[in-house]
Amino acid sequence: MKNLTLAAISIPVLLVLDLLWIGVIAAGFYKAELGPLLRPDIVWQAAVLFYVIYAFGLAFFVVRPALESGQAFKRTALAGAFFGLVAFATCDLTNLATIAGWSTLETFVDMGWGVIATTIATTVSYFAGKKLLGY
């Protein structure tokens, strides 16, 4: 139940951040870098599944262990940043290695975004989890 609560906190945070990043801030960048590789419409089922799996991973591997062990916030934020780097590097570097036309610049920008977004989601989940779950 605790992982579910922590994931439920992370999902809207990640969703809002990605909607701002992909839809507004970096929309032109993605079009310029990936052009014809982009779908005209988002496959929402895949996007929702990503957010659910990612949020549960963040809760299970980073936030809940930190809360249960009384880990300091700074250490938790660093663990969240590293989780984001590992996850986004897995996707982006695999795409760079296997998809013709995948942009090197996009790879590293997206990995950076993964670190930022995951650190923010970790921060919100950590403090909300402390309050809601009584840690």
User: Per residue in 78-126, pLDDT tens?
Assistant: 999 999 999 999 999 999 999 999 999 999 999 999 999 999 999 999 9
CA 62/CA 76 separation, integer angstroms: 7
CA 48/CA 11 separation, integer angstroms: 9
In the predicted model, what is the mean pLDDT of the chain? Answer: 96
Q: How many angstroms from the chain centroid is the CA of residue 127?
A: 17
Which DSSP category does 99 fall into?
S
Q: Is 75 exposed, middle or buried (0-12, 13-18, 19+ CB in 10 A)?
A: exposed
Question: pTM here?
Answer: 0.95
Mean predicted confidence (pLDDT) in 34-62: 95
CA 55/CA 103 separation, integer angstroms: 27
Mean predicted confidence (pLDDT) in 61-69: 98
Mean predicted confidence (pLDDT) in 68-74: 96
